[in-house]
Chain A
Amino acid sequence: QQKVQQSPESLTVSEGAMASLNCTFSDGTSNNFRWYRQHSAKGLEVLVSIFSDGEKEEGRFTAHLNRANLHVSLHIREPQPSDSAVYLCAVCDNYAQGLTFGLGTRVSVFP
């Protein structure tokens, strides 16, 4: 079964500095990865979906996928206080079984 781990558990950044989040997975044959954001007491909002090695940008959010290294990252350019949230990495191996999520990285952005 797919294992998804995220690091760091928490991250504090200054407004305007780059924030980098990491996610490792156990099954290198996976090709369906997503980053979600969850504000406190709210639902999940999809930020970036990536399906092949390389880079995918959506606004200020960029995902990098390297399946050989079992690694997918998320970079947040010019983070703002409103970006303070928990960021979840999700991997889909078999849509019949939904997504497997990591435990998340809590990001705090200070002015």
Chain B
Amino acid sequence: DMKVTQMPRYLIKRMGENVLLECGQDMSHETMYWYRQDPGLGLQLIYISYDVDSNSEGDIPKGYRVSRKKREHFSLILDSAKTNQTSVYFCASSPNWGGQNTLYFGAGTRLSVL
């Protein structure tokens, strides 16, 4: 069964703290994504990773960085979190970045920055 797993599911942090969101997939997909979802703005792309150590900024990368050291694992890091980074974060993966591949999404991480 194809699966994208996100940890943790819920997280509360104080402003200025560092945040690590983790995502794993068991499908050997090359491409992985981080999105955030906010009311009225919808889903916005933060970063794409085409494979290990091959990452590219999406539409809203400011304040975020990513790490992909293994194909099955993609991390989103917030250094010194800000209150406007309160959101629901979704990780997704697809077999590769070309063609008509479907994106498979995790269940999301709800982050609150106080």
Contacts and interface: CB of A to CB of B under 8 A. Distances in A.
Interface of A: 32, 34, 36, 41-46, 49, 51, 88, 95-99, 101-104
Interface of B: 4, 31, 33, 35, 40-43, 45, 48, 56, 58-59, 90, 92, 94, 97-108, 110
Given A42-B107, A49-B102, A95 B97 contact: yes
Contact of A96 (B48, B99, B108, B110): B48
Contact of B45 (A43, A49, A97): A97
B105 A98 contact: no
Nearest to B101: A95
Contact of B103 (A41, A98, A104): A98
B100 A103 contact: no
Contacts of A99: 43, 45, 103
